[in-house]
Each structure stands twice: as structure tokens, then as C-alpha cells.
Amino acid sequence: MNFLLNPWIGSVLGAVLYCAGLAGAWMQKLPKPGEEHGISHVEPIPAGPSWTFQNPEIDALVQELRDEKQALAKRKAELEELAVRLSAERNELLQTTQAVHQLQVNFDQSITRIQDEETANLAKMAKTYVAMAPENVVKIFKELDDVTVVKVLRFMKEKEAAPILDQMARQGEPEAKRAAGLAEKLRLTVNPPPAAKAKKQ
């Protein structure tokens, strides 16, 4: 006790205790490893995305989206193929239409040419028959059908056709009926084309 009551020993002991307390307080304030700059120690974050956990609903939704994407891609490819096929068919149809139109034009030109040639031939035949005797013309008309005879008579003037029909009527009742029928058909037919009239005159 006397040792502890010694003022020098008490001073030294107090100083030691003070330094120990100060050192302990200072050691508590020092940052632990990994706590530099005021950052506390935390567990390391595992590498990889945060959604690596398994969720059946999300997996099913992802698979459904993938299937829908594939279906859309397939549908797009089918539509593109259909568009190409329709374009080819449209071009083929256009070419066919143009070919048919050209054939129609050629046909119309051929018909017009044939009609012009027939008109010229009929006008020439009519001119020939007018120069013949009526009885000889009647003999020729017996070998022709009524349609052809009417076409020829159309290119004759009334005063030129009248003697021929009169001569036909003198050949008996059958020829008289035929002459009447030819005169009626001639009356109902249209007049010759202006070009044919001009050639005839």
C-alpha cells in the first residue's frame, strides 16, 4: 500500500494508464482492412447479372417472345416471297395483255384489209356485170348464193340492176320469187361505203 501511495509511483501509473487508454481509443478509430475512405466492409458482389436467379414464369415469357419473334420472321419471309410471286405474275399478265392487244390490232387490220379488198372486188364484179347482157348475168347469178348477189347489186345503180332483176323474173316462178327476194334484201341493206361509191363513179 505504501508503494501505491508513493506520489511518483502514482504519477507514473497514471501516465501509463492514460497512454494505454489513448492508444486504445486511437486503435478503435483506425479503419479495418477494406474500410478505407470510410467504406465499411461488405460481402463481395458475385459476377454476372442480378437476374441470374431462376424464375419459371420469366423463362416461359422469354420463350414465348422468342417463338413469336420466329413466327413473325417466318411470316415476313412468306409475305416477301408472295410479293415476288405476285410481281412476276403481274408482269406475265401484263405481257399477255399486251400480246392479246397486239393480236387484236393485227386482226382488226386484217379484217379491214379484207373488207377493203372485198369491196374493190365487188365493185369490179359489178362493173363487169353491168357491161354484160342481162340474160348472161342471170345465168351467172344462178350459180351464186343470194348474199353474194346482193353484195354485187349494191355496187350497181338502180337503172343497172333493174334490167338484171327483170330478166331473172322472166325465167319462171322460182326465179321471179328469187328476184323479189333479192330486191327486198337489196332494199334493206345499207348503201356501199363512200370509197366504193367513189371507185364506182
151-185 residue pLDDT tens: 999 999 989 999 999 999 988 899 999 999 999 98
**Mean of pLDDT values over 73-94:** 93
How far apart CA 167 and CA 140 sit, in angstroms, is 12
How far apart CA 13 and CA 128 sit, in angstroms, is 167
- Enter the DSSP assignment of 120: H
pLDDT (tens digit, 9 = 90+) per residue, 16-70? 777 777 777 766 665 555 555 555 555 555 555 555 567 788 888 888 999 999 9
Which of 120, 122, 121, 112 has its CA nearest to residue 151? Answer: 122
135's torsion region: left (phi>0), alpha (psi -120 to 50) or beta? alpha
